[in-house]
Copies of this chain bind each other. A is one copy, B any other.
Amino acid sequence: KKRYNITLLPGDGIGPEVISIAKNVLQKAGSLEGVEFSFREMPVGGAALDLVGVPLPEETVSAAKDSDAVLLGAIGGYKWDKNEKHLKPETGLLQLRAALKVFANLRPATVLPQLVDASTLKREVAEGVDLMVVRELTGGIYFGVPRGIKTNENGEEVGFNTEVYAAHEIDRIARVAFETARKRRGKLCSVDKANVLEASILWRRRVAALAAEYPDVELSHMYVDNAAMQLVRDPKQFDTIVTNNIFGDILSDEASMITGSIGMLPSASLSDSGPGLFEPIHGSAPDIAGQDKANPLATILSAAMLLKYGLGEEKAAKRIEDAVLGALNKGFRTGDIYSNGTKLVGCKEMGEEVLKSV
């Protein structure tokens, strides 16, 4: 029997609710495919701040590194919003991404036929959208130095950050993107701001140079401002998008809202060799935490990505994906995706419905 060690990081807000459900789903899907899991739960984000005073304790890092995959709920909340930067929950997440070296963030944005009306876009625009944003996750302006706030010669404060990409960082994320596009519809759009930024000029040049190795993938380039427009105008034109950390942050959130079901969307963050980090795209939603209102499907689908991309357990992953579609087809909906004629359920009941269908 195959055994995997999974680190669970429930985090803050609705994180614990959705993680406990995803854990059960993972366990059942695994056992039906002859796979066993050992789970270890560790603190991160605000929960860790409250417990031990830092957003990413050493023990959490080593547990995560020692495991086969990491499943994260969500981090952050009003309570810690005024904390200094190094004591923010978000800083724990950035440190975790850096520690695990998960440079490749895969964020699918898919409009399911069952949920097309949840989009604010017209039906004919939203229907059939199925794109993947491949976001660089451990470089660029998120991590670049020098950075800080200093006082200049006039006694005036100046805030500064550095957008920086080395050739090998661009190449490795581009390769992940080409491979991803190859397994999808074979179209890759690289998004940059090469008409203004030198970091983007190098980005575009390296991505273009790699295209020769992927003759089966059709590569195009687009400026980020235009991409932000085109996602609204005609999202179906996109298959796979590859972009830097900050543009990927913005565009993947925009893309996920276009689907109208951000409570549905998972993500995978992958490294070259170590364990991957899997988490829903949505935040910690402190306003509905503990009220059994959260949509657990994004975390459940993140567990499916964990199986597929993290462990190579495609069959168990497929079980989970099908179970989610099953629950939706039976008409079950949490509040965020509810529409007339469907059955409104809470977080737990949705979890149980998925579990039944696994």
Contact = CB atoms under 8 A, between A and B. Distances in A.
A162 B160 contact: yes
How many copies the complex holds: the figure is 2
B254 A198 contact: no
B88 A246 contact: no
B148 A159 contact: no
Contacts of A202: 149, 157-159
A141 interface: yes
B196 A142 contact: yes
B159 A160 contact: no
A342 interface: no
Size category of the binding interface on chain A: 35 or more
Given A152-B166, A251-B228, A257-B232, A161 B120 contact: no
A4 B352 CA distance: 72
Contacts of A52: none
A253 interface: yes
A231 to B, nearest CB: 8
Contacts of A195: 76, 88, 90
A224 interface: yes
A228 B199 contact: no
Most chain B CB atoms below 10 A, which of A168, A232, A262: A232
A289 to B, nearest CB: 18
B233 A198 contact: no
B141 A197 contact: yes
Contact of A164 (B144, B158, B203): B158
B163 A200 contact: no
A59 to B, nearest CB: 24
B161 A157 contact: no
A156 B142 contact: no
A122 interface: yes
Interface in A112-159: 120-122, 125, 141-142, 144, 147-149, 152, 156-159
Given A120-B125, A158-B166, A159-B164, A224 B200 contact: no
A321 to B, nearest CB: 24
A212 interface: no
B232 A250 contact: no
A90 B223 CA distance: 13
Contacts of A249: 193, 224-225
Most chain B CB atoms below 10 A, which of A161, A167, A228: A161
Contacts of A257: 228-230, 232-233
A229 B254 CA distance: 5
13 contacts: A90-B196, A120-B121, A120-B125, A142-B196, A149-B202, A156-B166, A159-B197, A160-B164, A161-B162, A162-B163, A225-B252, A229-B256, A229-B257
Given A159-B200, A224-B250, 11 more contacts: A85-B198, A120-B121, A120-B125, A120-B233, A122-B122, A149-B198, A159-B203, A161-B198, A193-B249, A229-B254, A233-B257
Give me the 5 closest cross-chain CB pairs, A-B, nearest first.
Answer: A159-B202, A159-B199, A229-B257, A228-B254, A225-B253
